[in-house]
Chains A and B, each alone.
Chain A
Amino acid sequence: DTEVTQTPKHLVMGMTNKKSLKCEQHMGHRAMYWYKQKAKKPPELMFVYSYEKLSINESVPSRFSPECPNSSLLNLHLHALQPEDSALYLCASSPQGGAISYEQYFGPGTRLTVT
């Protein structure tokens, strides 16, 4: 089973709201990722959790914060977002991270609209 699930599918939030996106995989993968994708653009890496260590794309603003409660779950907490943060947020997982290169399996995404 190569499935990554994401909830919710759609989210509309105001600029003062706090919300969370959730991602889950049951493939025993050791690395999980958050990506942001704007229309007609490729995915941009935001965060990587690999072997319980967090790697951050330094261009990602602090209003996004990841949390990894266990090896199967990855959350993305959202606070005080801006309209330009509206995008498709994708979660992915891969068997391992680090020096070995493995394919990433993506979830269906959460369509986020910030009003």
Chain B
Amino acid sequence: EDQVTQSPEALRLQEGESSSLNCSYTVSGLRGLFWYRQDPGKGPEFLFTLYSAGEEKEKERLKATLTKKESFLHITAPKPEDSATYLCAVQAGKLSFGAGTTVTVRA
């Protein structure tokens, strides 16, 4: 069965303090790995798709990377508006979500 594990569960950062979120996965035949951002009470917002090991994607202060066993979401010099839950999802058959990492950035 596909497994997606995100760590840490929660992350509290000071504004400007860079950090990384981890998504490790065990799937048979990865077809894609996706990162989403979700604000409380709202639907997930698509951030990145990664298809193969070594691939990297960037958007503003966020950078996603992929290896054969895990993906990292790097947040560089975060701002309070980056506070959200970040979800990782992998697609082999159906899309399987991790439990998410809740990031809080203090001013």
The contact size tier of chain A is 20 to 34
Q: Which one of A59-67, A73-81, A99-107 contacts B?
A: A99-107
Residues on B with beta carbons closer than 8 Å to the beta carbon of A107 = 43
Please determine whether A43 and B46 come into contact, CB atoms closer than 8 angstroms. no
Residues on A with beta carbons closer than 8 Å to the beta carbon of B95 = 45, 104
Binding site of A, secondary structure by majority: helix, strand, loop or mixed?
loop
Q: How many residues of B contact A (CB 8 A)?
A: 21
Residues on A with beta carbons closer than 8 Å to the beta carbon of B49 = 101-103
Least CB separation from A90: chain B residue: B43
Please determine whether B44 and A106 come into contact, CB atoms closer than 8 angstroms. yes
Question: Given A42-B100, A90-B44, A104-B95, 4 other A-B contacts at CB below 8 A?
Answer: A42-B87, A101-B91, A109-B42, A109-B43
